[in-house]
Structures are given as C-alpha cells and as structure tokens.
Structure 1
Amino acid sequence: MTILDHIVTDKRKEVELRKSIIPISQLEGSVLFEKETISLVDNLKNSTTGIIAEHKRRSPSKAIINQNLNVFDVAKGYQDAGVCGMSVLTDGKYFGGSMDDLILARASCQLPLLRKEFIIDPYQIIEAKAHGADVILLIAAILSKEEIKEFSELAKSLNLEVLLEIHNEEELNKSIMPSLDMIGVNNRNLKTFEVSLETSKQLSTLIPNDFIKISESGISTIEAIKELQPYGYQGFLIGENFMKTDNAGESATAFIKGLQ
C-alpha cells in the first residue's frame, strides 16, 4: 500500500465517524453556510504572480514543517502579502490540520480559502462550505470519473469552486468536465515522493485552456515560477517554503516582491 492508500483508508473511517456525530442538517445550519463565496479563479486571472499560499504544519514526506505558527496570524500575513488565495490543510492524522484551522483562517482574512483535503465523500464538501471554504480540492488519483462528476457538481451547486489535482495524463483524461474550474498538476510523485517541475511542463499542453492551470509541489524559488509561466500556469501553490520560516506572511511578502 502507498501512503495515499493508507490516508484514504483512514479518511473513510474518519468521515464515517464525523457523519455520525454532526448530521448534514447541522452543517447546513451553520452561519458560514450562507456566506457568499470569494472567487479564487477571478483573483488568479487578475494577478501577475498567482501565488496560493498554504498553511501546513507537517506532511508525510517532510514530517514536521512548523508547529508554532498561529493560523490567524498566517492568514492575516498572507493577505497582507497580496497572495491570491490560501490553502488550508484540514487533515489531522497526516498533516496536523483541522476544521478549526479553516474557521480561524476565515475569521482573519478575506482571501479565497481552499480546503486542502482528501475528499472521498459528499459530506466533506458540505462540511467545507459550512466551515468557510470557497474552493475544494478533488484528487483524481483517489476518485473515479463518476465521483469527480458527482462531487464537482455538488460543489458548484453550493457556489464552491473546484480545483482538480492530477499527476499524469491518464488522470487528466478521465477528469476533464465542465464542472471543474481549475486543474492543478502535482509535481510530486505520490509513490516515491520525488518532485519534478517537468511534470507540470509535460502536462501543460494537454490541459484545455478553459481551465486555470495551477502547478503544485516543489515550487520554492522565483526562478521555478518564471520557468513555468510560459507553459500557461496562472497559479502556484506554495506551502512549505513560507511555513518553514518564523513568519510565513513576511516570507510570502518578500517572495511576491521578488516576482514583480
């Protein structure tokens, strides 16, 4: 079993438990459920830098990145830095995140928020909306074409934008559909955890221009972004690079200034 298989197995158990504790009707009654969503797509289209900054405490590949940064301060710092959106890891077991992180981020900034999660059940999409998310992540590697269609259409009905993550051409081919807004290429091989920007370059020409193209993982330098921009990428997801510093917001500010 790969690490992704382990994560999905644990996620199924976790979601069943959450469903038994908090019914959908309670989620739909949340104050944030009625909140108007903020568009990440619009921000990316109108940006010259396209930075989506992430809050991530740890990961299976890097263990602890930073346990000390306060979500509230990170979100405010990212907004002050001028990022296009913020990605919030909500997985607890493998990434040290929680739904509370999403709520805290929502309370401290007006950025579009992406719930970064291993979504395997419609419940998690309703949960995302109820906790202040504007965008959800769907990972093609763990979903069937039918699930991608069902989940993305549910998200759109809730006015959530959809970022679909792919790792190869096969995943892209099964996933292209009108209910997606953005297609993200993960440069990290989920089996070996090796990272290569060549993945984004190779897949760029295969992604229809109807979708915003986002490159994810392994982007730690301004040079990497300048290398990828000619391939049509408008969004760049950066987490570890900012989170490993003492002040993620200041780190993002300096990075964006260097890009402009």
Structure 2
Amino acid sequence: MDILEEIIAHKRIENERNRQIMPLRKLATEVDRLMESKGQQAEGGSMRKALIDSTSGIIAEFKRRSPSKGWIHQSALATEVPLSYQQHGAAALSILTDETYFGGNDSFIVDARQSGVTIPVLYKNFVIDEYQLLQARRCGASAVLLIAAAIDYDTCSQLCREAHNLGMEVLLEMHGERDLDYADLAPDLYGINNRNLGSFVTDVENSFHMASRLPKEGCKVSESGLSNPETVNSLRLAGYRGFLMGEQFMKQEHPGLALDAFIKDLAR
C-alpha cells in the first residue's frame, strides 16, 4: 500500500465515524440554513477569478505538517498565518484540514474567516464523498480539491456537480497523463501536482510537461515543490495562473513575511 492508498483507506473510516457523530441529513440541513442566510455562493468568491486577476497568482498554504517531512511549523496558528498571508499579497489560500496526516482541522478555516480572511480559501483534503463537501461549505471554504488519483471518474464527476450546487468551485488535481481524462469534466481550475502522491517524490518539471496537455483556456495551477521565483515566472509563461505554495513559507518563522519577500522577488 502506497501513501495515498493508506490515506484514502483511513479517510473512509474517518468519514464513517464522522457520520455517526453528525448524520448526513443533519449536516445537510445545517448547510441549507447557512446558504439561506449567506447566499448561494460560498465565502471568499471565485478562486478562478482571483488567480486570473492577480499579478502573482500565489495560493499560500497553511500546512503545519506532512507525511513525508513531519512537522513543518507545529506552533503556527490558523488565527494568525492565513490573515498574514492575505495582508502580504496572497491571491488565495489553501488550508489543510486533514488531521491525521497533515495536522489540520476544519476549524482552521473557521478560525481564518473569523480572524478577517475574506479572499478565496481552498478546502485541502482528500475528498471522496459528498459528506466532505458539506463540511467544506459549512466551515467557510470557497473551493474544494478533488484528486484524480483518489477517486474514479464517475465519482469525481458527481462531486464536481455537488460542489457547484453548494456554491463552491473545484480545483481538480492531476499528476500524469493517465489522469488527463478527468480534464473533460471541465473543473473551474486545472491543477498539476508536481508531487507523486504514491511515493511523495516531487519534480517541478512535471508542470512544464503537462501544460500543453491541458485545455488552453483553462485556469491552470501548479502545485508542490515551488520555491524559486524564476520557476514561477517561467510557469506563468507556460500558461499557469495559479501557484500553490506551502512549505516554502511555512518553514519560516513568519510565513506571511516570507510570502511578501517572494512576491517582491517575482516582480523584479
């Protein structure tokens, strides 16, 4: 069993446990009431538009740990770092909500919103069923991540529709050419993960390789392993408009200031 298979197996158990605590029907009723009071579109607005309109396209990620590297910034607070990212120029945010493998929690998005975050937030988790979409909408996410390697085509198609019905956008993550069939689902954002989720080996060249294989008009996002401003600028020339970065900033004492410095380097 590779790392992704292990995570998905655990996620199925976790989802079933959560359903016992909060039944699907009750959660759906809560979300219906939320949408009645706050409107159809999720908080933060369109992530796609935010990236297209941004000069940097940086999706700054709140990521405290990873399965391959352990704790990156254990003391980081969701009440502080996401807002600092926003204040220092992030086009959008990604917040890890998987607890077991990434030290995240749905409450981190709630905390970020309550601290003053108003820009789009990606619900970063291993989403495999509708229950998690409802969790994402309830906690204040603007978009959800769907991973081609984690779900079959039909499930992904269904989850895309349900996410849109809940007023959220979809970042569809692919890695290699075997995932390209999923691009036909026309998500809001086309993600290319430079990290193989089975082995956790990372190669930024993957984004360059896959760029021409994605729909020309699609909003493309390069994910993982980005640390050099020159690489980001080269990816923009290759057609990317979003750049998801976490460890590069989170390993610093002040992630928001690290983002600020990176964006200034991009402009030079």
Aligned mates of 2:125, 2:199 — CA distance in 1: 20
Determine if the alignment matches structure 1 residue 199 to structure 2 residue 199: no
Partner of 2:14: 14
CA contact (8 A) 1:32 1:131 kept: no
How many residue pairs were aligned? 259
CA contact (8 A) 1:213 1:235 kept: yes
Partner of 1:92: 99
RMSD after superposition: 1.3
Q: Quote the offset at 1:32 in angstroms.
A: 4.9
Partner of 1:29: 30
Partner of 2:233: 226
CA contact (8 A) 1:106 1:113 kept: no
Deviates more, 1:56-65 or 1:167-176: 167-176
Q: Quote the offset at 1:24 in angstroms.
A: 3.1
Q: Quote the offset at 1:185 in angstroms.
A: 0.4
Residue 102 of structure 2 aligns to a residue whose secondary structure is coil
- Percent identity, please: 41
CA contact (8 A) 1:65 1:243 kept: yes
Partner of 2:88: 81
Q: TM-score by structure 2 length?
A: 0.93
CA contact (8 A) 2:193 2:222 kept: yes
Partner of 1:3: 3
Which structure 2 segments of 5+ residues have no match? none
Match of 2:253 among 239, 242, 246: 246
Residue 149 of structure 2 aligns to a residue whose secondary structure is helix
CA contact (8 A) 2:183 2:214 kept: no
Residue 80 of structure 2 aligns to a residue whose secondary structure is helix
Residue 127 of structure 1 aligns to a residue whose secondary structure is helix
Partner of 2:154: 146
* TM-superposition CA deviations, 1:126-174 (whole Å, max 9, x none): 1100110110000000111101110000001111000000011111224
Q: How does 1:52-201 map to 2 (within 5 A)?
A: 52-108=59-115, 109-178=117-186, 180-201=187-208
Which structure 1 segments of 5+ residues have no match? none
Q: Quote the offset at 1:3 in angstroms.
A: 0.5
* TM-superposition CA deviations, 1:155-209 (whole Å, max 9, x none): 011110000000111112244213x100110001223322111110111001002
Aligned mates of 1:32, 1:187 — CA distance in 2: 36
Aligned mates of 1:246, 1:137 — CA distance in 2: 27
Aligned mates of 1:130, 1:203 — CA distance in 2: 34
Q: Look up the equivalent residue of 2:120 and give its one-letter code.
A: P
Q: Quote the offset at 1:230 in angstroms.
A: 1.3
Residue 118 of structure 2 aligns to a residue whose secondary structure is coil
CA contact (8 A) 1:60 1:94 kept: yes
CA contact (8 A) 2:202 2:224 kept: yes
